[in-house]
Amino acid sequence: MSTALAQGEIGELAQIVGSEWVLDQREQLLPYAVSLDPAGDCFPATVLRPGSREEVQRIVEVANRRGLSLHPISRGMQHGLGMATAVAPDTVTIELSRMDRILEYDDELGYVVLEPGVTFAQLHRFLEEHGGRYWCSPISGPVEASVLGNALDKGAGYTPVGNHFGNLIGLEVVIGDGRVLTTGDGALPGAKTTYTHKGGCGPMLDALFAQSNYGIVTKAGVWLMPAPPGARGFVFSVPDYDDLGRAVDVAGRLKLTGGIPSTISIANDVFCLAVEAAEPRPMAEPGAAPIDEGELPALREAHGIGAWNVVGCIYGPSETLEARVEKLEQAFAATGPLAYLPEEEARERKAFGYRFDIAKGVPNETELDVYNLHPNGTSLYFLPSVPFRGAEALEAMRLSRLICTEHGFAYTNQFLCSPRSMRNTQPVIFDGGADGAAQRARDCFSELTSRFADSGYLVSRPPTHFQQEVMDGLGLHAELARSVKRAFDPNGVLDPGRFGLSLEDR
């Protein structure tokens, strides 16, 4: 494959997208190059910004003919997971943000059909402008992130439809050889159930395009949440770190039985304090952890938060909500000391209020203030899942806290909980301007990954430059995934190395 573009290649690609949509100056490429890899920034050869599926097809055709490597991104806003960076330098980045149309809205069956450039903020505005009958399911990150991009990377939201890939349907995909596939019922020409029925006929191919490099998704359907008649948030806080187990056991029973329909967040004190901070905390000394654990009790008292804070939302007729929250309080209080904050009081705390907005379908990126834990704060996000059981939550907490302490990082974590599992959502936050900090963070992340794998916990969403490391531990799964790559992308032009997937002879 080419490692740099000849003028003829740039010219041919410019004819497809228009010269104004070709970025090839170093300052233009920098946002697509920033990498936490010790080798340094990972610059693409050029960036193309196509405006249609047809243009994407033509780019893929040129790549196959000329032997180019393509790195498709929706909007490239994956904080802590690689942002817009490719696995290897000198690829051609295809940035799909110009493809930002909402192509269809069915207000009876509750779905939209989107292109990959549509953002959470854009979808929220659209739904509000069309009567507010349905909610989107925002993430707690950038409001200008891609709805489809997040779903395809197995991202999650806070509403009852927070399994974003699970609510994706009817993917239109330009596969590696340039052909166009529509998944599910959409494989039938003229199908009327492309966006209403997931089954299709035969193998379901949709999941092959999550966290893979088999094709470029150019549109898909998204199922929406009907707006409920009312919603009410709550916070239950426990005073000590070892209270996590009992909080998780109660929350798990309530989640599994439908008592808490939203995604449940169980956030620790450091995570909440970092979000609360108005500006980055001053460092005691270069390389030191930003918060001494001896400070935490006083800081918790000053900010009105617990060691662990269970945040969620219930939905239904407004007159029923208070009584339902009281039942939740009784369930938590039966296990030991806790503090209950109703939504009205909890909204006075920055670390809690934004979570209620997201659980009610309103995009909000306040959580990015967690980076205030350090000057020039940046992170590697550590995202394994553990079963929704108190004993396993305690095991994960103790292991992760130990490793972070040994490497000089604050243990900053929240568990995002579905009915049977919890995603350990832990940013390893460091000062991006400090010498050696990125390498220390990588060392910490590598040890977290290997020690959690040894304990039976898989990192399901690793940052770009850790994907190979995680996949290499998955045996036949990884082997078969590489075999599938050849069927969809016989020349290996799409994002070689993403999630450890390349053709063997490349």
Nearest CA among 104, 293, 330 for reference residue 196: 104
- Asked if the model's pLDDT at residue 283 lies above 80, the reply is no
**Rounded to 5 degrees, what angle do the CA atoms 388, 394, 398 make?**
140
User: 7-17 and 53-66 are packed helices; what angle lies between their axes, rounded to 10 degrees?
Assistant: 160
- The pLDDT value given to residue 6: 65
Could you tell me which residues are beta bridge partners of residue 266?
Answer: 310, 415
The reported pLDDT for the residue numbered 505 is 42
On the question of pLDDT at 112 being above 90, the answer is yes
Average pLDDT over residues 177-195: 97
Please report where in the chains the tokens 């662990």 appear, as a residue. 308
pLDDT tens readout for residues 42-96: 899 999 999 999 999 999 999 999 999 999 999 988 887 878 888 888 899 999 9
> What's the token pair of residue 446?
């590598």
State residue 367's pLDDT score.
Answer: 94
Kindly report the pTM of this predicted structure. Answer: 0.93
Which domains, from first to last, does the chain contain?
7-98 (3.30.43.10), 102-226 (3.30.465.10), 231-459 (3.40.462.10)
Q: With 70 as the cut, is the pLDDT of residue 404 above it?
A: yes
Tell me the one-letter amino acid at 131. G
CB-based contacts of 405: which residues, under 8 Å, 6+ apart? 289, 411
